[in-house]
Chain A
Amino acid sequence: MATSTWRPARRNGLWQRIRKHRFAYLLTAPTALAMLGVHFIPTLLAFYMSFLRLNQFTLGRFLRAPFVGLANYALIFSSRNNALVAGINNAARNTLIYAVAVNVGTLGIGIVLALLLNRRFRGRGIARTLMLLPWVVPTYVVGMLWGMMWLRDRGIINTILVDWLHLLSQKPFWLIGRNTLWAIIIPTIWRQLPFNTIMLLSGLQMVPEDLYDASAIDGASAWQQFWYITLPLLKPVVAIVLLWGAIFTFFGYNIVIMMFGNGGGFPGEWGDLLMPAIQRQSFGYWMFGLGSAVSILMMLVMMLFVGIWYRVFRVSLIQE
């Protein structure tokens, strides 16, 4: 396609345009160079590394390690019983559930909170500030703190659920078994909620008041106002929040790693996510080629998601 439209004059045009905006390019050059250094080159390196047998014995040779073509990719897909990738399927299943649950949770609760905080009431400023608190807690601290709160007999959560509220008849384990999935989903929602709420709140404040006034005159109910005015106008914000959340959860690591043995333990078959699993079973096993291959695959999956996301939200993003 490029060859058919290519003409020398066009090249001149491009050059002239660069000359014309020379100052702008000059200003953005440092950023562009830095991004090239910290993002693009490492990504390219990782891509190349995924074709190498790069383990502890060949690491000293780094990029001159034996080239093995697609062997690392074959290892991932070859057999279900391959010992070196054992357990990755559990991690993939957990990651999917985790990503969906966290994003639905943060978006749903975030919209409700944003609507509440958008109303005029006494102490609204304080409420907005308080609501931001979880966001200033670093994710690894979130993991450690909730790791203590989830303890069956010494944690605050079971004390509240069982001893105070009597919601459950007996104290369940949260850090062992299937419940571990909840034990990582809930703190992540708690941590991510402020960001979503603030974003949605700023979106709400851009919705013109007179739209509500006009619709009220036409007899629209509050629900109809929300459904036909608020939500469509929030769509660009929802798009950003969703993209952010998807990346955050798909590459989720800190909370899980810290919750189970401060980085030394195994989150278990229901608590393991893809990132911790990859870290453990490629970098932890000192198989850096394999680790790069899995990381590249994850990147492709994420790019696919971003592609779908863009198609879905393209119209509202461009309008914005």
Chain B
Amino acid sequence: MKPRWLVLLSLVTILGMLATACGSATPEVVEKTVVVTKEVVKEVQVTKIVQGKTVTEIVTATPPPPEEVTLKIWIMPNGPDPLGAIQTEIDEFEKLHPNIRIEAEVLDWGSAWSKITTAATSGEGPDISQLGTTWVAAIAAMGALRPFTAEEIAAMGGAENFVEASWQTCNPVGSGFTVAVPWFVDTRAIIYRKDVLEKVGLDPDEAFATWDTFDAALARIKEAKEAGEVETYPIGFPGKNDWNVLHNFAPWVWGAGGEMLNPGNTAAVFNSPEAIEGFKFYASLFTKGYTPPDVLELNSAQVDGMFPSGEVAMIISGPWMVKNSRTPEDKGGFAGSVAAENFAVHEIPAGPAGRFTFVGGSDLTVWNSSKHQEEAVEFVKFLVSKESQIRYGGNIGMLPAVKEALADPTFKDDPDYGVFVQAVGHGKSYPAIAAWGPIESAMVKNLGALWDDVAGVNGPFDPDTMIPARLDAAKQEVDALLAAGGG
């Protein structure tokens, strides 16, 4: 990985040098008009290349007025009002920097990938862009991202100021560069109905302690539903017709002691005996009848909807559900409903190897093609400042990526957001390698096929043979992708 990176970067640098050299090598007549006014007069050292020779001279000049600069930022549809939320930040920023104007464009997640890769290859990108955490390494490998300097990172509070799992995604493995800065965090926890657990006599802390107690708790709710004591199914989660297929499995795989790739990121190891236990446990939650019977054909949004409607006692979802539970119905939330009044959050139960949850979200990047990189960095600095992080995170229903902001009472001391903040501490993200995007596509396909097996499409589901078979096939594909075996 390293040599490729170096070659790419040095290529970009050399090209840049050539371009600037060519630009200034044309002989020019410089007229110096020094107007002495009452303003501050400064001495400026100017180095020019005139006909191939470097000439340095001291020029006295008045400081130029700050140049009017317009920056373009690409973001994704974050939260219920993507443009409104970013405009709030832009307005605040423009108050501090009157010479910088920022134009935001919202890309759709579906088309964003092709638009961003096109920009990366053509060199005509935005100044700043939001990138999904798993995309950063790939776009960086295309040479499109400007690395942040040590001073800039220090000015943003240093690496320690950011959530570890997010920070990791900003530093592509083997590159030695920080090409992005974490913006916000998406993590998963269990959202449950206090009243249902109470009614069946379960203590949440015990019910969500380990896999075994979790299994017992779900069995208890199922029993209670069959006896007519409660109306909800124990839990809901989507199957193959969804975009979160891998994120849904990941906490259980990690909790079982499994990993996605080997330490050198050269081969898949998700078919190890430990990992298989994780896949088995999660699939067993369906086969044991803890979910509504049709859950495997639904997508995440539809499953999220089963919680407010009172169909299920719990779902595994993200911080946006907290916001939804406090947003009135006419604005797309479910405040005031039974589910909202009994809304509670708990971390995902600990597996044999510990407690883990998926951490995703988005990072901010400055593009090499930007003509105003300094100003772009200024805006990034502003977006990761504590106040902006708290405000923006709250507006879009995601967690801040800056620890300072996470520790703010708005999040940390909130009974619901607070649990997500804790969960971030047990968060894990995927390896920050350029090939991760393709690997995720391959996993969504193969795990989708696994959900079909679980649903009984290919005969009665036998976890001991069917799960390893699907994972072995997935490993073959992922290994081929890691070897970049095709063109």
Contacts and interface: CB of A to CB of B under 8 A. Distances in A.
Interface stretch (A37-45, A57-65, A103-111, A304-312): A57-65
A266 interface: yes
B241 A175 contact: yes
Given A55-B484, A178-B457, A285-B442, A265 B299 contact: yes
A208 interface: no
Given A173-B455, A269-B449, A261 B243 contact: yes
A132 interface: no
B190 interface: no
Listed residue (B141, B293, B448) with the most chain A CB atoms within 10 angstroms of its CB: B448
Contacts of B477: 83-84, 86
A83 B241 contact: no
Interface in A233-287: 259-266, 268-270, 280-281, 284-287
Interface string B223-240: 000000000000000011
Given A86-B476, A280-B445, A261 B452 contact: no
A285 B441 contact: yes
Contact of B457 (A72, A82, A177, A289): A177
A287 B486 contact: yes
Interface string B80-102: 00000000000000000000000
B76 interface: no
B425 to A, nearest CB: 28
Contacts of A52: 487
A265 B242 contact: yes
Nearest to A52: B487
A178 B459 CA distance: 12
Contacts of B138: 56, 286
Contacts of B110: 263
Interface string A52-85: 1111111110100110100110010000011110
B106 interface: no
B407 interface: no
B294 A268 contact: no
Contact of A260 (B121, B141, B240, B442): B240
B142 interface: yes
Interface residues of B, number: 49
Contacts of B435: 56
A213 interface: no
A57 B139 CA distance: 10
A289 B486 CA distance: 8
Contact of B441 (A72, A83, A284): A284
B132 interface: no
Given A87-B445, A173-B294, A177-B455, A264 B243 contact: yes
Contacts of A290: 486-487
A22 interface: no
B428 to A, nearest CB: 21
A56 B486 contact: no
A265 B444 contact: yes
B298 interface: yes
B296 interface: yes
Interface string B443-487: 011001101100111000000000000000100110111001111
A52 B242 CA distance: 33
Contact of B484 (A57, A72, A280): A57
A153 interface: yes
Contacts of A186: none
A92 interface: no
Listed residue (B143, B299, B445) with the most chain A CB atoms within 10 angstroms of its CB: B445
A176 interface: yes
A210 B457 CA distance: 57
B245 A269 contact: no
B121 A261 contact: no
Interface residues of A, number: 53
A151 B297 contact: yes
A58 B487 CA distance: 9
A59 B122 CA distance: 10
A85 to B, nearest CB: 9
Nearest to B476: A83
B275 interface: no
A269 B484 contact: no
Contacts of A58: 487
A259 B486 CA distance: 29
Nearest to A258: B110
A176 B142 contact: no
B243 A60 contact: no
Contacts of B480: 82-84
B445 A53 contact: no
B473 A60 contact: no
B292 interface: yes
A266 B121 contact: no
Contacts of A84: 477, 480-481, 485-486
B117 interface: yes
A128 interface: no
Given A57-B4, A84-B480, A151-B298, A265 B487 contact: no
A285 B473 contact: no
A154 B297 CA distance: 11
A285 B438 CA distance: 4
Contacts of A270: 457
Contacts of A53: 486-487
B352 interface: no
Given A175-B241, A265-B448, A286 B437 contact: yes
Listed residue (A65, A66, A153, A266) with the most chain B CB atoms within 10 angstroms of its CB: A266
A149 to B, nearest CB: 12
A153 B292 contact: yes
Nearest to B442: A285
B297 A176 contact: yes
A151 B117 CA distance: 35
A44 B476 CA distance: 33
Contacts of B141: 56-57
A287 B486 CA distance: 6
Contact of A55 (B243, B451, B486): B486
B142 A60 contact: yes
A62 B245 CA distance: 32
B434 interface: yes
The 6 A-B pairs at the shortest CB distance, nearest first, are namely: A264-B243, A266-B448, A53-B487, A289-B487, A177-B457, A83-B476
16 contacts: A56-B138, A56-B434, A57-B434, A60-B142, A71-B487, A72-B487, A175-B297, A176-B239, A261-B241, A264-B242, A264-B243, A264-B444, A265-B448, A281-B441, A284-B441, A289-B486
Given A53-B486, A152-B294, A153-B294, 8 more contacts: A84-B480, A147-B241, A151-B297, A176-B239, A178-B457, A259-B241, A270-B457, A289-B486
